[in-house]
Amino acid sequence: MRNLLMKVNYDGTHYDGFQTQPQGNTIQDKLEHAILHLTGERLKITGSGRTDAGVHAYGQPFNFITSSQIPLERWCLALNARLPQDIVVTEAAEVPLSFHSRRGAKRKTYRYTINGNRFPDPFQRRWQHHHPMKLNVPAMELGLSALLGTHDYTSFASRKSTKTSHVRTIYEAYLEVDRSMCRPGSPDQGVIHTYITGSGFLQHMVRIIMGTLMQVGQGKISADRMPAILAACDRAAAGPTAVSKGLALWNVEYDEIDD
């Protein structure tokens, strides 16, 4: 038996997230179906975590145990030939049988993208939340900095969360503004990327943080209120849940994996 660790990129627009659902329209379902067609094995893969419907990923890790002896270098091309064009496996490696892509994950980074230009970008519309009204980026940065550290993030978790603890750690969080697509002399703000790295995330956590930050950027919530919103441990204290299409799983980090 072999334990294979792979990474997958996907445009989540037409899918119900990563983890399998009864309707069978998830990234996990498509990957397992492709493996079945390739090897004849009906197996379950383990993803590094869930993503919401409509959320995207760059290099999301997943692993599975297989008895197939297909050479490692053939797996990516063979699976991609059996997958929809919006799901692409990019890496494959053999890891110890004890490796578990979800339990072993130490740090996860999500990126949320806001197009702050007056007009949406038709080429990036599936990956960006278009918000043409002025946003105060320095205020958003100040509000975001208040969330760093280890806290109870109940205020930023879905009311449907089933986790016994809402304590998580955010290690790093910052904004980057790309003004390369701004039109000269226009009120365009550029494309605003927010990166948040943590030990793990609750259901809708990043999207609720972003919905709250956008209200900070609009002046509807003062950045100074962010610590109080966090301390309230009450979902009603935070802002709305931002739309899913602006969110992408950006990176997952592990300790060094021994052979």
CA 50 vs CA 61, 143, 213, 255: distances in Å: 11, 26, 23, 20
* CA distance linking residue 51 with residue 253, whole number of Å: 16
**Catalytic (active site) residue 224:** no
Contact between 151 and 171 under an 8 Å Cβ cutoff? The reply is no
* CA distance linking residue 156 with residue 170, whole number of Å: 13
Catalytic residue among 16, 52, 234, 255: 52
Radius of gyration of the chain (CA): 20
Does 110 carry a binding-site annotation?
yes
* CA distance linking residue 167 with residue 177, whole number of Å: 30
Q: Which residues are catalytic?
A: 52
Task: Cite the annotated binding site for substrate by residue number.
Answer: 110
Task: Cite the annotated binding site by residue number.
Answer: 110
